[in-house]
Amino acid sequence: MSVRERILETALRMFRMYGIKSVTMFDISRDCGVSKKTVYEHFRDKEDLVHEGMSFLLNGHMEQFKDFRQHSANAIEELTKELGYIELVGKTVNPVMLYEIQKYHPEIWKAVETFKRDYVLGFISENLQRGMNEGLYRSDLKIGIMARMRQLQMEAVFDPAQYPVTAYDMHEVMTQLIQHFILGITTLKGRKIAADYLQLKEEN
């Protein structure tokens, strides 16, 4: 791993844990084991570091979603893999970081919004089409409507105004929402497959 990559990895870890505003370039250099001068040799300022860090994160998410698509037996398995991944991301990202990016780094937040619109929504739409082609999802689904609904569900999980951490367990919220979504879009064939992945008991 190069020095630049090590700095970026350290900064991302600290931003995720403590938020952005409270982390200084000196904090990053100290935790990374390099001088502050070295950090500035690779990144112009903290804004540059945040921008590079978010680009790295978003590209990583995109590659992970692609991997799920390529290595899933069907659309339902792909969706359940995404559930586990999103939950892992949720556990390692402090909501304060997202709030601070939106408030103090508007240009970077635009990139996040673009990612959600162009990639996340696209992956959901493609999964819906795949499931319909496989006969696992209902053929009467309106992909544009259902994809947007699923995206809003995912965003709501990370919104403390909707599901405050003091009142809701993130794993439970995600599980309930994905179960509701999958069982609402699947055919009888798809529901039987979903029951295995989601460990559901079919009602008699």
pLDDT of the residue at 202: 47
CA-nearest of 113, 134, 116, 114 to 124 is: 116
Is 49 part of a structural domain of the chain?
no
pLDDT of the residue at 24: 95
Is 26 part of a structural domain of the chain?
yes
pLDDT band of residue 14 (cuts 50, 70, 90) is very high
- Answer yes or no: do 92 and 176 share one domain: yes
pTM: 0.83
- Answer yes or no: do 86 and 172 share one domain: yes
Is 4 part of a structural domain of the chain?
yes
CA-nearest of 187, 61, 58, 154 to 110 is: 58
CATH code for position 26: 1.10.10.60
Which residue is listed with tokens 């979504």?
Answer: 181
Q: Count CB atoms within 10 A of the CB of residue 168.
A: 14
CATH code for position 186: 1.10.357.10
Is 11 part of a structural domain of the chain?
yes
- Answer yes or no: do 152 and 96 share one domain: yes
Is 133 part of a structural domain of the chain?
yes
- Mean pLDDT of all residues in 46-63: 91
- Answer yes or no: do 185 and 106 share one domain: yes
- Answer yes or no: do 77 and 122 share one domain: yes
Question: Which three-class secondary structure state does DSSP give residue 96?
Answer: helix
Checking if the pLDDT of 101 tops 60, the result is yes
- Answer yes or no: do 129 and 174 share one domain: yes
Is 204 part of a structural domain of the chain?
no
Q: What percent of the chain has pLDDT over 70?
A: 98
pLDDT of the residue at 204: 37
Q: Which residues contact 112 (CB under 8 A, 6 or more apart)?
A: 54, 58, 98, 101
Q: Higher-confidence residue: 185 or 89?
A: 185
- Answer yes or no: do 87 and 130 share one domain: yes
pLDDT of the residue at 124: 94
Is 50 part of a structural domain of the chain?
no
- Answer yes or no: do 90 and 157 share one domain: yes
Supply the mean pLDDT for the chain.
90
Backbone angles phi, psi at 164, to 5 degrees: -60, 140
- Answer yes or no: do 114 and 82 share one domain: yes
Checking if the pLDDT of 18 tops 80, the result is yes
Domains identified in the chain, total number: 2
Is 48 part of a structural domain of the chain?
no
- Answer yes or no: do 35 and 62 share one domain: no
Backbone angles phi, psi at 34, to 5 degrees: -130, 170
Checking if the pLDDT of 2 tops 50, the result is yes
State in Å, rounded, how far the first CA of the chain is from the last one. 55
- Answer yes or no: do 71 and 110 share one domain: yes
- Mean pLDDT of all residues in 83-96: 82
pLDDT band of residue 200 (cuts 50, 70, 90) is low
Residue 29's domain comprises 1-43
- Mean pLDDT of all residues in 79-102: 85
DSSP for 121-139, please give it: HHHHHHHHHHHHHTTSB-T
Residues 152-196 pLDDT 10s = 998 888 888 898 888 998 889 988 998 999 999 999 999 999 998
Q: Count CB atoms within 10 A of the CB of residue 183.
A: 14
pLDDT band of residue 117 (cuts 50, 70, 90) is confident
- Answer yes or no: do 71 and 112 share one domain: yes
Backbone angles phi, psi at 203, to 5 degrees: -75, 140
